[in-house]
A and B are shown apart, each in its own frame.
Chain A
Amino acid sequence: GAGVSQSPRYKVAKRGQDVALRCDPISGHVSLFWYQQALGQGPEFLTYFQNEAQLDKSGLPSDRFFAERPEGSVSTLKIQRTQQEDSAVYLCASSLPGQGGTGANVLTFGAGSRLTVL
Chain B
Amino acid sequence: RKEVEQDPGPFNVPEGATVAFNCTYSNSASQSFFWYRQDCRKEPKLLMSVYSSGNEDGRFTAQLNRASQYISLLIRDSKLSDSATYLCVVTNSNSGYALNFGKGTSLLVTP
Contacts and interface: CB of A to CB of B under 8 A. Distances in A.
Contacts of A59: 98
Summarize A's interface: helix, strand, loop or mixed: loop
A43 to B, nearest CB: 5
A110 B99 CA distance: 16
A77 interface: no
Contacts of A40: 8, 103
Size category of the binding interface on chain A? 20 to 34
B98 A91 contact: no
Interface stretch (A12-20, A79-87, A98-106): A98-106
Interface of B: 4, 8, 31-32, 34, 42-46, 49, 87, 91-92, 95, 97-104
Interface of A: 31, 33, 35, 40-45, 48, 56, 59, 91, 101, 104-107, 109-112
